[in-house]
Amino acid sequence: MILLLIIIFGILLIIVKYILPTFIRYLQLKKDYQNISFLPFSSIPFVGNLHLIDHRPYIFFQLMCRLSHECQIKEKGIFCLWYSLSPVLYICSANGLETFINNSKQLIKSFDYIFLQPWLKTGLVTSNNDKWRTRRRLITPSFHNTELLHGYMHIFNEQSFILADRFNKYSEQSYKTHDLYPCISACTLDIIAEAATGTHLKAQLDGEHNDFVQATVRIGDIINKRLRSPWLWPSCIFNRLPIGREHTKLLNILHSFSRKIIEERLVTFNAKQMINNDDDDDKKCTHRLVFLDCLLTQMQEKKLSFDDIHEEVDTFMFAGHDTTAAAINFFCYLMGCYPDIQSKVHTEMDMIFENDRNRPCTIEDIEQMTYLDCVIKECMRILPPVPFISREAQTDFIYRNQIVRKGTTVSIFIYGIHHDESVFPNPKTFDPERFLDNSFNQNQHSHYAFIPFSAGSRNCIGQRFAGLEERVVLSTLFRQFIFRSTQTIDQLHLSMDVILRPHVPIQMFIERRSL
């Protein structure tokens, strides 16, 4: 009898403490978001729109694009999807975005970033609140240090030439198509590894035999799969499955490799300090500085610990690798779709480099790349490497007359914002000139209408680095090659992983340009 009473009491407690408040909040949010829930008829009580989330990620992406377009036509700028009892709001218009993206109280990342934490712990991408603020303040100067950034030009050039050599082999088989992504991704991995840590990873030369390279590529696939599969979210289930065990094995490879790199650099760093403290100028060390040296200096000043540095190094490897690879791959693909524009890029490169296809690219060259600059921007508008970012609302706020409640996940749908026809007329038309004339800049919302690197204080810290890297790699490739694509964008079956990914690999013909 007593046991029965305890059980009844327990059940009542759970109902009163958890189920009832959740249900009341659900009803409240249902009411608050009814005007922006565009799929009310397909929303099943307690299931929401979950059943619409097709296991094929590109079908979900198509749904997102359709809803975003519908929402822009209705001039709402925001729509809601229900994941069971939880709503996720998607902002797909630049108008009003500044109230959220630039608000210092709204910088907290949403729940899904938690799946990056086993790898990145709480580095810049995944940390929040004071930890993020302090870190960002400490790390920003290194990414704004022009001398340091320009010092990376030799890395960008060296790796671009290796990439061009590999493409050269493909061009010898110009009768068939190639998936260039693995080569491009190995190149950007080599670049970030050397710039961040001073390590010569040799992913381009020896990638198949390098456990770290393989692990970096594979863990990305696993994280994306987990994000798309709610049944893999609870760690107690995930860790017991083969995919979870593989994840743990990869983490060990990644963490022990980056730990070793930092330890080795620390030894050289300390030795260098000793020499530099020495009065003898002849002995002073001249080896090139990398981001890791800046972090080690902070460690010496007791502002960062070894573990802090470890998570930031892993973060740079993650954030600086796939993003730039996607941008470069999409650029080559889009040039293959638009031969007239590609030919203008070739002309600009020939003019700047005076037909010299083998000399390294300099900062002065980059300053002259006005047309390439517009094409890069138009590529990132049409195919933004990071298609969305998410935060959790920390306070109630109003977005264009729509109340957004504290605790709601708010996704900024960058892809949708870049395809808003009120800002970019004929958004599917590839037109780099949009970024040349003033029409786009004159638009009152232009500041937040083109945000491939996000915006506000939590924007991409690596934006300048990525900009230089892309220009060196692309100017090297487009001095030497012609690309031809055979697939339309629709045929790529785009899907929203952490980065925008073609579900069907991009296949391109590649030819050497005649002299």
**Contacts (CB under 6 A) with ligand HEM, residues 448-507:** 452-454, 458, 460-462, 465-466
Q: Is 294 known as a binding-site position?
A: no
Q: With CA atoms as reference, report the closest residue to 170 among 158, 157, 184, 156.
A: 184
Exposure of 160 by Cβ count < 10 A (0-12 exposed, 13-18 middle, 19+ buried)?
A: buried
Q: Determine if 80 is a binding residue for ligand HEM (CB under 6 A).
A: no
For the bound state, the minimum distance from the C-beta of residue 278 to ligand HEM, rounded and expressed in Å, comes to 33
What CA–CA distance (Å, rounded) separates 166 from 208? 14
Binding mask 214-243 toward ligand HEM (x if CB under 6 A, else -) reads ------------------------------
Q: Determine if 320 is a binding residue for ligand HEM (CB under 6 A).
A: yes
CA distances 283 to 120, 271, 273, 280, 425, Å, are: 38, 12, 11, 6, 61
Of positions 68, 142, 258, 315, contacts ligand HEM by CB under 6 A: 315
Number of residues engaging ligand HEM in binding (CB under 6 A)? 23
Q: List 411's β-bridge partners, or say none.
A: 90, 390
Q: Determine if 416 is a binding residue for ligand HEM (CB under 6 A).
A: no
Q: With CA atoms as reference, report the closest residue to 109 among 468, 394, 414.
A: 394
Q: Which is nearer to ligand HEM, 148 or 164 (CB)?
A: 148
Contact present, 88 and 75 (Cβ < 8 Å): no
What CA–CA distance (Å, rounded) separates 281 from 354? 41
What CA–CA distance (Å, rounded) separates 370 from 351? 12
Q: Which is nearer to ligand HEM, 47 or 499 (CB)?
A: 499
Cα-only R_g, the chain: 25
What CA–CA distance (Å, rounded) separates 182 from 479? 21
Per DSSP, which regions of 24-101 are E strands?
A: 78-83, 86-91
Binding mask 326-365 toward ligand HEM (x if CB under 6 A, else -) reads -x--------------------------------------
Q: Determine if 382 is a binding residue for ligand HEM (CB under 6 A).
A: no
Q: Determine if 125 is a binding residue for ligand HEM (CB under 6 A).
A: yes
For the bound state, the minimum distance from the C-beta of residue 499 to ligand HEM, rounded and expressed in Å, comes to 8
For the bound state, the minimum distance from the C-beta of residue 330 to ligand HEM, rounded and expressed in Å, comes to 10
For the bound state, the minimum distance from the C-beta of residue 163 to ligand HEM, rounded and expressed in Å, comes to 16
Which residues sit in the known binding site? 460
Q: Where does this chain bind ligand HEM (CB under 6 A)? A: 124-125, 136, 192, 315-316, 319-320, 323-324, 327, 385-386, 389, 452-454, 458, 460-462, 465-466
Give binding residues for heme as ranges: 460
